[in-house]
Amino acid sequence: MTDKRIMILGTGGIAHRHAEHFSAIPGCSVVAACDINRERVSAFAELHKIETVFDDLDAALAWGEFDAVVNATPDPVHKPTTLKAIAAGKHVFCEKPLALNYQDAMEMTEAAERAGVVNMVNLTYRNAHAIQMARRMIAEGQIGAVRHVDAGYMQSWLTGKHWGDWRTDERWLWRLSSEHGSKGVLGDIGIHILDFASFGTGLAIKGMQARLKTFDKAEGNAIGAYRLDANDSCAMTVEYENGALGVIHMSRFATGKANDLDMVIYGETGALKIWANQQDSTMQVCLGPDIETQTWRSLECPPTPKNAERFVLALLTGENGAPDFRHAAQVQKLMDLAFVSDVERRMLDVDAVTPPKEPPTV
């Protein structure tokens, strides 16, 4: 079987990881790189030993000697570049979020499905062994019907300097300012915990109510050109398709937590406790007789393929992998609706409400 040829589009920070990962996966080869910054793409290609470079996507598509695009462009560029790639018949592995709003994400989803191309989104915490194991165990009925879920994604870079000083570092300041493209903690890490809470349980979220909070962090709530108005914490109550309830929360003020995803899934005949960060994950279970004594035991989780490996497998087999565009669009809808729910102060029926393209304001 001939190796699938991949072009990396956008050669900023995350692109280096993509180049390393895809170059090491059997069944594919990275044959080209494209970026509007000629100097950057040339340096990137030299570093990763990529033969062909472009500073224009149209020129790259006209050349066309590749099967798939890894889209590592900035978030606002995902939609136009992905639609061009799809129109040219190229498969797409897109960085998260798929788009800036639900409508754009659905436009991309429908275009990919019409074209019949493989479409996947790099929701990186799918790489956690524990979340994949939880999904399998629930599907097998090992904890019975899910009745309650407690999920959180906690960071503390607003109370510590372990990732740099946000007061002086533009890498973090822009994440606090809506004028600079940030949708706050919800837009930054909400996508991951909402994916965790839906994929891990195997259940769709059908109802949700959210509360967003922005805290005073500087005099006048501004530092230089950055107005610090993006949300810092979010708390949600959700209802799943089977009637189970859940609480999902995220914060940058979680002192003592570096970058932690935690979720407990409570079922009628057992429970699962999952923890993950970017490098590792663990699972504890309360099953069988242990539910009478509330005893939790560690469970070894077998390694799971990474998203990049699943994408290559999808290219080789022609069967779309997960997470796909449609799922990412649904997660985007949940994030968009959280802004609506916060403004309207009410529970929303996810299927009955279409969020606006721009977050509403009070």
What is the pLDDT, as a whole number, of residue 73?
95
What's the rounded Cα separation, in Å, for the pair 108 and 30? 24
pLDDT average, residue stretch 256-263: 96
Mean pLDDT of the chain: 96
What is the pLDDT, as a whole number, of residue 214?
97
Reference 44, options 87, 76, 7; nearest CA is 7
Reference 88, options 107, 112, 104, 53; nearest CA is 112
Which pLDDT band, with edges at 50, 70 and 90, does 361 fall under?
Answer: confident
Q: Using alpha carbons only, what angle is made at residue 36 by residues 21 and 14, rounded to the nearest 5 degrees? A: 25
Instruction: Encode pLDDT of 146-168 as tens digits.
Output: 999 999 999 999 999 999 999 99
Helices then strands, counting H and E runs in the chain, come out as: 12, 17
Residues in contact with 208: Cβ distance below 8 Å, sequence separation at least 6, in sequence order: 236, 237, 238, 239, 334, 337, 338, 341, 347, 348, 350
What is the pLDDT, as a whole number, of residue 278?
86
What is the pLDDT, as a whole number, of residue 362?
60
The pTM assigned to this predicted structure is 0.94
Instruction: Encode pLDDT of 322-349 as tens digits.
Output: 999 999 999 999 999 999 999 999 999 9
pLDDT average, residue stretch 288-313: 97
Instruction: Encode pLDDT of 37-54 as tens digits.
Output: 999 999 999 999 999 999
Domains and CATH numbers, the chain: 4-125+310-321 (3.40.50.720), 129-303 (3.30.360.10)
What's the rounded Cα separation, in Å, for the pair 96 and 75? 8
Cis peptide before 289 (omega within 30 of 0): no
Is 158 in contact with 217 (CB distance < 8 Å)?
yes
Checking if the pLDDT of 292 tops 80, the result is yes
Provide φ and ψ at 359, rounded to 5°.
-55, 135
Instruction: Encode pLDDT of 226-249 as tens digits.
Output: 999 999 999 999 999 999 999 999
pLDDT average, residue stretch 165-179: 93
Which pLDDT band, with edges at 50, 70 and 90, does 1 fall under?
Answer: low
Checking if the pLDDT of 304 tops 80, the result is yes
Instruction: Encode pLDDT of 66-121 as tens digits.
Output: 999 999 999 999 999 999 999 999 999 999 999 999 999 999 999 999 999 999 99
What's the rounded Cα separation, in Å, for the pair 52 and 144? 53
Provide φ and ψ at 269, rounded to 5°.
-125, 15
Which pLDDT band, with edges at 50, 70 and 90, does 13 fall under?
Answer: confident
